Structure 1
Amino acid sequence: MITATQIRGARAMIGMSIEELAAASGLPVETVTALENGEFAGEPHALFDVRSTLEAHGIIFLSSGNQDEGGPGIRLRARTVSDDGIRPENLNAANDD
């Protein structure tokens, strides 16, 4: 199970607001806020929905290691070649968003 700290950290790592995470996961803002405060009682699917949403945005949840390796954590998924975006020499008015 992921922790409230992992949820807060993951959201911060990808620059997502509570409102954006709620909308992306299909949950009320109050539910996401409760999960970030460690209040896991409630809708049983809420924690799964939040985790799935954050994983879809590139978060990897790490389980707790032994005492020498630290506790639970998060990291970003490694970028693939196709994630490099537009190279400077390919910028033009057609792809200027």
Structure 2
Amino acid sequence: MLGLTAETLASESKLPVSTIEALETDANSADAKALATVRSVLETRGVLFLASGGDDAGGAGVRFKHWAEDGSIRPENLNATNDD
């Protein structure tokens, strides 16, 4: 989504590359502290984590914060009536 390499993410999170690679293969068995650290780095770079549940947002996932916070139109909602 951001185009980060494991090395870049490791550097920014101050975690070993091996930890980043382990998170990529099996986040369910990952160290909670490492997972929270990586999440914090991603959020700083503009990623918004969406919770699962019965809300109208469509369930769990991720998206860029700027779509959620600045009132801009998401790409899939662009059409001739809102094309400026």
Do the structures match in fold with TM over 0.5? yes
CA deviation profile, 1:11-62 (whole Å, cap 9, x unmatched): xx11111110010000000001111111554644111110000000000011
Q: Structure 1, unaligned stretches of length 5 or more? A: 1-12, 82-97
Q: TM-score, normalised by structure 1?
A: 0.58
Percentage identity across aligned positions?
Answer: 44
- 2:40 maps to 52
- 1:93 maps to none
Count of residue pairs the alignment pairs up: 69
**Larger relative CO (CA 8 A, sep 6+): 1 or 2?**
1
CA RMSD between the two structures? 2.8
In 2 relative to 1, CA 44–74 (structure 1 residues): closer, same or farther, beyond 3 Å?
closer
Q: Structure 2, unaligned stretches of length 5 or more? A: 71-84
Q: TM-score, normalised by structure 2?
A: 0.66
Mapped to 2, the partners of 1:48 and 1:69 lie a distance apart of 23
